[in-house]
Amino acid sequence: MSSLGGLSGCRSSSMMLVAIAASLLLAVLASAEPPHPAVAVPAHGPDAWQEDLEAGDECAETADRDCALNALQLQSSKETRRAVVGAGANASVGKMDLRAMGPPATAMAYKGMAWPDMSVTESAHVFAIGDWGGMDGSLERSNGKKLYNIFHMDPGPHPYPRPRWDKDHKTLLCNSGDFRNCFKGLHCPAGCQFVNDVDTKPQQLVAEAFKARAALYKPQYVLNVGDNFYWGGIETKCGSDMQKIHPTTKHQFDQVFETIYDGSDLSDKPWFSVLGNHDWGGRLYANGWDQQIAYTWASKRWVMPSVYWSQHVKYPDQNFSMDYFMIDSNVHDAKPPIKDMGHNICSWYNKQEDDCSVTGGPRSPLECAGWFEALWKEQTVWLEEKLANSEADWKVIVTHFPCGHMAEFYTGLHTKYGLDLLVTGHRHDQELWPAERLGGLTCFVTGGGGGVTSEASPTDTSEWYGKEQYGGIEVGTQYGFFDLTVSKSQILIESINYEGKVVGKAVVLPSSMATTTTTAAGERSMDLNSTKPEVLSRPNSTEPEVLSRQNSTEPEVRMVNSIYYPEPEIDQE
């Protein structure tokens, strides 16, 4: 009896150990990344969803807003289901698929997370554009008023008539009122440097050049640096249901994005996007910036899963990869409420009761600047960690505020972690900075998308510093976009103007090798072994800056200009 009792006790102990081990295994599995939520795949197959979507899209032509919005949700469902079907039974293995997970509960829920990896086996072209979203003439804001300074009430985008200053940004050449008169065919001061049929429709002109070049070179994705909707972003309040698309959101996306950057070569190409200061509201933080995030799941190509996030792109046929870090730099326009009220996200144009905390944003005007400061600090920690752990051949940051902002920070990322390229906007022109201006880090500004009038005349930049940057080219350095041709050994950057012409080039080598070679279109690349100096004038100085040239007894004269030209305060209307 005692022996049997001992054996029974051993068996009980063994069974208890097995149960404990099973519990521990379950606990380990539970601590892993959660699997994707189950998504029911329709029995009639994924292809039938296209028919359903087309049927739903017919509603968009009617006055039934609910039906039109349902079409967007159907489209989102179709894309999610296809993603899951394409991934097969093992879709839940590995990284969390934000696309399949669906919209977050709040706009900040996916901060710092990675969008699913992209694999490119076709063209190695990438387009970059910013500050492109004009003001729609047919949009009525919630208060019943039209958009700021709009001069036509026709549907579709119209540029905000921004004042023009001199190169040093000390003398106002043309204010917004003068510019509006130019647009209306009234007295137009010479200082406005107004060019009819260019300044009046720059977004459309750039978009046509964009589409024409896309037809030739087949870009596989677009880098979008923000200011997607002037003047104040999506014209609804923050805090809308992230699972739904507000009617105003659909209206603005339809009028300013979907019908402008269309065509077979762009219709399914993702736009990796960040917010600009005008997307937050310009002088507000309580507009519908969170709806731009929600639209990610109602679009086949708009990608902005949070205010900062990352994207890994693989080029398996060429054996290289790229890591893109999409960050929010709008802390530069987030100030105490009383300061610079015409151009301050946190200004007293917000109401004290404006509260975006329900979706993770600022709680009040008094807390707004601190909120943005905390967001920026959070991103700097995230960036350093991600860059340190990145094994990609190329590391690229995409953000809104232009070259020259936080120069020491970005230069440090280049030096310490091998950041290769900084892609920016905000300033309303096209700038291609030589790498030595940021300690070896190449940076460009693509703020000439046409949502707002350019810094200087689009046809005469003789009084603007863009002229020196392009070796004397006087046409097309204001409105345009960039075309990047990427490979394992280099990135070729080409500046494309609103006429589709290449007006500037640069070659970026990996950060472990040489720096950028910058030329104007049609000119030779800089020969580092040449004995002849390259001379470019230095802005704001009669004296050139002389830097020693490799393997040469002659000096190299290069332009250095880290001046930031802030946007002027808008008319208070």
Which of 166-170, 193-197, 412-416 is modeled with the greatest confidence? 412-416
Answer yes or no: is 90 within a domain.
no
More reliable by pLDDT, 472 or 270: 270
Q: Write out pLDDT tens, residues 341-371.
A: 888 999 999 999 999 999 999 999 999 999 9
Q: In Å, what is the CA distance from 517 to each residue of 145, 321, 434, 508?
A: 49, 22, 7, 7
Average pLDDT in the 126-143 region? 84
Provide the pLDDT for residue 67: 45
Q: Is the pLDDT of residue 16 over 80?
A: no
Q: Is the pLDDT of residue 92 over 90?
A: no
Provide the pLDDT for residue 343: 86
Q: How far is CA 475 from the centre of its chain?
A: 26
More reliable by pLDDT, 435 or 204: 204
Q: Is the pLDDT of residue 215 over 60?
A: yes
Q: Write out pLDDT tens, residues 385-440.
A: 999 999 999 999 999 999 999 999 999 999 999 999 999 999 999 988 888 889 99
Q: How far is CA 465 from the centre of its chain?
A: 24
Cα separation, 531 vs 573, in Å, equals: 57
Q: Is the pLDDT of residue 329 over 80?
A: yes
What is the chain's mean pLDDT, rounded?
A: 77
Provide the pLDDT for residue 24: 43
Provide the pLDDT for residue 30: 39
Whether the Cβ atoms of residue 442 and residue 506 lie closer than 8 Å to each other: yes
Range of the structural domain that residue 240 is part of: 114-160+203-515
Structure tokens at 39: 């998504």
For 88-97, 199-208, 286-295, 484-493, which range has the lowest pLDDT when averaged over its residues? 88-97
- Specify the number of domains making up the chain: 1
Provide the pLDDT for residue 150: 55
More reliable by pLDDT, 39 or 454: 454
Answer yes or no: is 487 within a domain.
yes
Biggest CA–CA distance in the chain, Å, is 113
Residue entry with tokens 């190169």? 167
More reliable by pLDDT, 354 or 28: 354
Answer yes or no: is 6 within a domain.
no
More reliable by pLDDT, 506 or 564: 506
Query: The domain spanning residue 223 has which CATH number?
Result: 3.60.21.10
Task: Work out the pLDDT band at 149, boundaries 50, 70, 90.
Answer: low
Answer yes or no: is 61 within a domain.
no
Task: Work out the pLDDT band at 475, boundaries 50, 70, 90.
Answer: very low
Answer yes or no: is 91 within a domain.
no
Q: Write out pLDDT tens, residues 239-248.
A: 999 999 999 9
Average pLDDT in the 178-187 region? 90
Whether the Cβ atoms of residue 546 and residue 552 lie closer than 8 Å to each other: no
Q: Is the pLDDT of residue 203 over 70?
A: yes
Task: Work out the pLDDT band at 497, boundaries 50, 70, 90.
Answer: very high
Average pLDDT in the 68-90 region? 42
For 286-300, 478-492, 525-539, which range has the lowest pLDDT when averaged over its residues? 525-539
Answer yes or no: is 521 within a domain.
no
Answer yes or no: is 452 within a domain.
yes
Q: Which residues have CB under 8 Å from 328's CB, separation 6+? A: 274, 275, 307, 308, 375, 376, 379, 399, 400
First vs last Cα of the chain: how many Å apart? 97
Cα separation, 195 vs 470, in Å, equals: 21
More reliable by pLDDT, 511 or 27: 511
Average pLDDT in the 48-64 region? 35
Cα separation, 32 vs 112, in Å, equals: 18
Provide the pLDDT for residue 71: 52
Provide the pLDDT for residue 459: 83
Whether the Cβ atoms of residue 498 and residue 480 lie closer than 8 Å to each other: yes
Q: Is the pLDDT of residue 562 over 60?
A: no
Average pLDDT in the 222-232 region? 95
Please give the single-letter amino acid code of residue 28: V
Average pLDDT in the 45-63 region? 34
Whether the Cβ atoms of residue 312 and residue 266 lie closer than 8 Å to each other: no
Answer yes or no: is 550 within a domain.
no
